[in-house]
Structure 1
Amino acid sequence: MKAYLLIDFGSTYTKLTAVDIENEEILAVAKDITTIESDIMTGFNNAYKKLMKNESMHTVEFVKKLACSSAAGGLKMVAVGLVPELTAEAAKRAALGAGARVIKTYSYDLTEDEINEIKVMNIDIILLAGGTDGGNKECIINNAKAIAESELNIPVVVAGNKVAVTEIRSIFSKKNIFHAVTENVMPKLNTLNVEPAREEIRKIFMNRIIEAKGLKNAESFINGILMPTPAAVLNAARVLSEGSDKEEGIGEIIIVDIGGATTDVHSIASGDPSKPGVNLRGLEEPFAKRTVEGDLGMRYSALSLWEAAGTRKIKKYIKNKELNIEEGCRYRHNNIMMVPETEEEIDFEEAMAKTAVDMAMERHCGYVEPNYSPMGMVYSQYGKDLMEVNYVIGTGGVIVHSEKPRDILEAGAFSTDNISSLKPRHPKYMIDKSYILSSMGLLCEELPDMSVRIMKKYLKLI
């Protein structure tokens, strides 16, 4: 039996998925603790032994072994641009879409303090943008000089004003700084062009970052680590939504992934106004958008979730109103391996999850502002209108193990409590019970039709 082995070297667990490519079925899944501190193959081998114990695996021949990774913090970047709301924001969106964790975004000329801050961040790539094509070029050139003179030994992706490229190449070449030049992330005012930068970031991840993360040991066994894990999930979301050459997609979707450290939201949708008389304002939104909320997590970020949400917001979702919310969140922050067992612990977990979904969706979705004009009331839309998306898909441990996963996801739906937010109104809800999204993001690189069919088969309506 011919099969693909799809591997996710996660920050906590290494997850394996075996796919029968003849019958288009998931044969088995297995996971074990990721061992990035010693040899990443130790955790992999532990998971592999579990996988091969499954009866369906006895006659398997793996014809391909593909992987993604978020081990050792995943792909960490900073984005540098000119104006905070424009090129700096465009650079950030390009980095997020490439599957990176954006540690910080800088705008205008980098100061000495900011350069020193970058030095201690332990990041993998700098995305340098700034200026529309033919516009301001002094800022991006000054920032290139600051990076070069600081002796930062970090790869730089240059995605800014094309008029400045020749000078920037010279600046980096003289200091032997590895750099890659690609198209401007904002060639015209408010116009995004993030795909070329995303692809360049991915190439550097594959060719340089893998070795630095200690993942080189895995390459003798597998065919390649193709991308960061979040990029694989975004890949899967896109092909599921749009379809492939032979398979119809399911339409516009949102994926919500609640983890221990972050809550990630992916949307595949145009985001154009769903109501007449609404005018778009601000920076153009990417069709495939990813946001990462580093203060909304179930363990590492449990305390920051409480700080961001406040006691009353979490209590809104909890049964026992007498519980000490700060204490419960602090306990989880200090005990990251905690597994909820009692009914009260599970209820507290799900209240945290609902809060995370509520806030992450509000930050991801756009909003409408009313304005008075000589012609009467007019409405301006900022961000994506996601009110009419077809599906919201949930993944992550707290959703997958919940007896009421729909209740968690519905916390992110449109509510009359905030009528300006453009959250989904009446979507259908699905759950990634088998954690297949990242593996299907890998599979669709080679077998897109099959990956769509498998996702339609295994993602369950709730």
Structure 2
Amino acid sequence: MDSYLLIDFGSTYTKLTAVDIESEEIIATAKDITTVENDIMVGFNNAFEKLQQQLRGKSVNFVRKLACSSAAGGLKMVAIGLVPELTAEAAKRAALGAGARVLNVYSYDLTSKEIEEIKKSKLDIILLAGGTDGGNKDCIIHNARMLAESGIKLPIVVAGNKVAVDTVEKILKDAGMFYKITDNVMPKLNVLNVEPAREEIRKMFMEKIVEAKGMKKAEGYTSGILMPTPAAVLKAARVLSQGTDKEDGIGDLVVVDIGGATTDVHSLAEGEPSKPGVTLKGLQEPFAKRTVEGDLGMRYSAVSLWEAATTKKIQRYLEDKSIDVETNCRYRAENIGMIPKTEVEIKFDEAMAKTATELALERHVGALEMLYTPCGVIYSQEGKDLLEVKYIIGTGGVLVHSENPASILKAGVFDENTPTYLKPKNPECLIDKTYILSAMGLLAEDHPNMAVRIMKKYLVKVN
């Protein structure tokens, strides 16, 4: 049978998914610890051996092998813009949408101290933006010159004021830097245009970063490492939401990915006000939006989750209020490989996951603000209104292994006690039981119709 082998070189596990493209069935899945420190192919081979055991007796011909990766820390970037709430924020959103982990965002003219910070950061790519088309061009030119004179030898994606592009290109070219020019992330005030920058970042990831992370061997085995893992998940979510020319999508949705270090939220929705009389303010929101909460994780970030949430918030989700929240969080941070075994450990992990979901959704969604005017009370909305989103999809170990994953996801829905947060009101809950979202993002590169059908079949509805 002709099949695709879809590979996710994850930060912790390398996950394999085999898909029979004739019957559109997932015929096997397997995973093993990612071994990026020595040879990425060791972990892959271990997982592949497990996969072959499942396929024993079947005549499988892998016609394509596609991969994504968040190994070796994933794709790490900084974003540089002009005004913090405008072009700098637009650059950050472009980087996040490309699947990057954004280590910092810089605005206005770069200082010598900030250049030193950038040099010391373990980065992969710099996204240089600034100015609307025809607007301020001095800032992006100054920042290009600062980068050129710094000795930094990192790839740069330039996505700023088109009037300044010729000068910026000359500065970077004369300094012998590797760069790519693409469209402005904010061509007009408050208007986003992040897709060209996202695509350029993805190409640069394939061209430069895969090799830099010692993954060339893996690329030689596959048909290419196409994108960072979060970008693959976002691609799957987009095609599932919008559908294709031949397959209907399921509509607006939110994906919650709870990991050991971060909680990622992806929303696929326009996010326009659902209530009459509400005005929008602030930066335009992208249809496909991703946020990453680096302080909300189940292991690496367990202490910062406790600090962000407070003891009382986590205790709200615990039946036994006498449990020492701080001690349990610190233990998990110091023992990142811990797998909960007892009922108490499982319940505490689920309380952490509920807290992470609640906080991550609060940070991701838009919020209403009530303003008093001479004409009466008016409401303004900043961010996305996700009240009417149809589905919330959960992925990540704590959700997959939970006996009641819906209760974790429902911690992120609309709450009458905090009505200003525009979180989904009555979404259906689906779980990615077999970790297929990143695989379906890869499959969608070649077979988007099939990817939609498989996700509809394999995402599990929970109540």
TM-score of the two chains, using structure 1 as the length reference: 0.99
**Aligned residue for 1:327?**
327
Identify if the C-alpha distance between structure 1 residues 112 and 222 changes in structure 2 by more than 3 Å, giving closer, same or farther: same
Partner of 1:45: 45
Gaps of 5+ in 2: none
Q: Please state whether the residue corresponding to 1:430 is helix, strand or coil.
A: strand
Partner secondary structure for residue 94 of structure 2 = helix
| 1:377 Cα deviation from its structure 2 partner | 1.0
Structure 1 stretches of at least 4 aligned residues deviating more than 4 Å after TM superposition: none
CA distance in structure 2 between the aligned counterparts of 1:184 and 1:313, rounded to whole angstroms: 41
Alpha carbons 1:372, 1:378 under 8 Å: kept: yes
What percent of counterpart residues are identical? 68
Aligned-residue offset at 1:58:
2.8
Three-state SS of the structure 1 residue aligned to 2:95 is helix
Contact 1:27-1:56 at 8 Å conserved across structures: no
- CA distance in 2 between counterparts of 1:162 and 1:221 reads 40
Counterpart residue number, 1:371: 371
Q: Deviations over 1:138-189 (max 9, x none)?
A: 1111110110100101001010111110100110011101111111000111
Aligned partner of 2:132 in structure 1 is: 132
Give the equivalent residue in structure 1 for 2:230: 230
**What's the counterpart of residue 153 of structure 2?**
153
User: Could you tell me how far apart the structure 1 residues matched to 2:311 and 2:171 are?
Assistant: 51
Match of 2:13?
13
Map of 2:415 onto structure 1 = 415
On the 8 A contact 2:27/2:55 being kept in 1, the answer is no
For 2:34, the aligned partner's letter is: T
Kindly indicate whether residue 206 of structure 2 is the aligned counterpart of residue 202 of structure 1. Answer: no
- The one-letter code of the counterpart of 1:52 is Q
TM-aligned CA distance change 1:417 to 1:49, over 3 Å:
same
**Equivalents in 2 of 1:395, 1:387: separation in Å?**
21
1:320 shift after superposition: 1.2
User: How far has the Cα of 1:219 moved from its partner?
Assistant: 1.9
CA distance in 1, matches of 2:111, 2:57: 57
Tell me if the contact between 2:28 and 2:55 (Cα under 8 Å) persists in the aligned partners. Answer: no
Q: Does 1:3 align with 2:28?
A: no
Asked whether the equivalents of residues 362 and 421 of structure 2 are also in contact (C-alpha less than 8 Å), the reply is: yes
**For each residue in 1:305-352, what CA deviation from the matched residue of structure 2 results, as whole angstroms up to 9, or x when unmatched?**
011111111111111111111110000000000000000000100000
2:51 match: secondary structure = helix
Residues in 2 aligned to 1:55 and 1:188: alpha-carbon distance in whole angstroms? 54
Q: Residue type of the partner of 2:59? A: T
Aligned residues: 462
2:87 aligned with 1:74: no
1:220 Cα deviation after fit: 2.0
AA in 2 matched with 1:157:
V
Instruction: Quote the Cα distance in structure 2 between the aligned partners of 1:425 and 1:130.
Output: 37
Q: Deviations over 1:76-117 (max 9, x none)?
A: 000001111111000000000000000010111111111111
Paired with 2:398 and 2:193, the residues of 1 have a C-alpha distance of 35
**d(CA) in 2 for partners of 1:173, 1:393:** 45
- Contact 2:431-2:461 at 8 Å conserved across structures: yes
What is aligned with 1:141? 141
**Number of the residue aligned with 1:211:** 211
Question: C-alpha distance in 2, partners of 1:202/1:102?
Answer: 15
Contact 2:82–2:130 under 8 Å retained in 1: yes
CA distance in 1, matches of 2:81, 2:55: 54
Residue equivalent to 1:353: 353
Q: Give the match for residue 92 of structure 2.
A: 92
Q: Give, as a single letter, the amino acid of the residue that structure 2 aligns with 1:74.
A: G
- Counterparts of 1:265-414 in structure 2, within 5 Å, are 265-414=265-414
Contact 1:28 1:57 in 2 (8 A): no
**What is the CA deviation profile of residues 274-319 of structure 1, one whole-angstrom value per residue up to 9, with x for unaligned ones?**
0000001000000000000000000000011011111111111111
Work out the CA distance in 1 between the residues paired with 2:442 and 2:19: 12
- Could you tell me how far apart the structure 2 residues matched to 1:355 and 1:414 are? 14
CA distance, structure 1, for counterparts of residue 453 and residue 391 of structure 2:
16
TM value normalised by structure 2: 0.99
Give, in whole Å, the separation in 2 of the partners of 1:226 and 1:104. Answer: 25
Separation of aligned partners in 2, 1:70 and 1:308: 25
Aligned-partner residue type, residue 191 of structure 1: V
1:59 CA displacement: 0.8
Q: Which moved more, 1:239-248 or 1:56-65?
A: 56-65
Counterpart of 1:259 in structure 2 is 259
Please give the per-residue CA displacement for 1:233-265, whole angstroms capped at 9, x wherever unaligned.
000000000001210000000000000000000
Measured after TM superposition, the shift of residue 57 of structure 1 is: 6.3
Q: Say yes or no: does 1:245 pair with 2:274.
A: no
SS at match of 1:330: helix
Deviates more, 1:318-327 or 1:349-358: 318-327
Q: Distance in 1 between matches of 2:253 and 2:291?
A: 14
The residue type paired with residue 225 of structure 1 is I
Kindly provide the amino acid, as one letter, of the partner of residue 449 in structure 1: N
Q: Which residue of 2 aligns with 1:459?
A: 459
Are 1:122 and 2:122 matched, yes or no?
yes
Query: Could you tell me how far apart the structure 1 residues matched to 2:390 and 2:9 are?
Result: 31
SS in 1 for 2:306: helix
Instruction: Give me the whole-angstrom Cα distance separating, in 2, the residues matched to 1:301 and 1:113.
Output: 28
Task: Compute the displacement of 1:375 (Å).
Answer: 2.0
Structure 1 residue runs without a partner (length 5+): none
